[in-house]
Amino acid sequence: MEIVPAIDIRGGRCVRLYQGDFGRETVFADDPVEVACRWQDEGAHRLHVVDLDGARDGWPVNADLVRRIVATVRVPVQVGGGLRDRPSIERYLDAGVDRVVLGTAAVKDRALLTEVLAEHAQQIVVAVDARQGVVAIEGWQEETPLAAVELVRELAVLGVTRVIYTDALRDGTLEGPNFPAIENLMARASVPVIYAGGVSSIGDLARLASLGLEGAIVGKALYTRDLDLREALEVLSPAGRPEEGVSA
């Protein structure tokens, strides 16, 4: 299972929000590029960058900073936040972004989703962000009537090749993943799933790996040092199985 450090950008700085609440922000660094280099140096094989301003405002507000990250690091970078039209998506892909993450657009603009999947299927990831199983969009500010599990099934039919499932109520809390929700999703999903939300220990990662997840995005636990990235990468095998002696 791939362990992917998260770099959330707001106002040009590296921050973490509590449960996606823009009023509950902790700033961890003034330079997201420096943070990206730190996670690369500690062994990350991929980075997950989110433009929080873009997610809320509907366009890639921190695009220049994202491009600086992509140009500086050597590892693949996946980027989400404010990608609501094809030119924005194409500009990121042309800049070297490995995967673009669509959230609101995937729910509200199926024509756009179908169009970009036709040309860039392997580089399109859909973010399924949920509170109590219900999908939230517009930077998690708006709830929809969609059930997360059903949305994942619909996306698979449309040709989406992977999804990121985030439990918004666990995000930034260090309370551990919502394992019942993940197990329910994995029992029905027919595409690879990357999980985010509440991961706080190697035990959490080992248990996620045992469920067959393709990856886990880790944010706050890395910044608070509750979780050491080097140690986590050493403990979890490339095949996604916990090494012998690691208990979930």
Rounded Cα distance, 19 and 57, in Å = 18
Task: Kindly state the tokens that stand for 168.
Answer: 């918004």
Q: Which of 53, 129, 171, 204 is catalytic?
A: 129
Note if 129 is an active site residue. Answer: yes
Q: Which of 147, 142, 62 is nearest to 104 (CA)?
A: 142
Asked if 228 is an active-site residue, the reply is no
Phi/psi zone of residue 197: left (φ > 0), alpha (ψ -120 to 50 degrees), beta?
Answer: left
Residue 181, both tokens: 């929700």
Residue 215: strand pairing partners: 2, 194
* Separation CA 244–CA 182 (nearest Å): 24
* E strand map for 11-75: 13-18, 21-29, 47-51
The one catalytic residue in 8, 51, 171, 204 is 8
Residues 6+ apart with CB under 8 A from 87: none
Active site residues: 8, 129
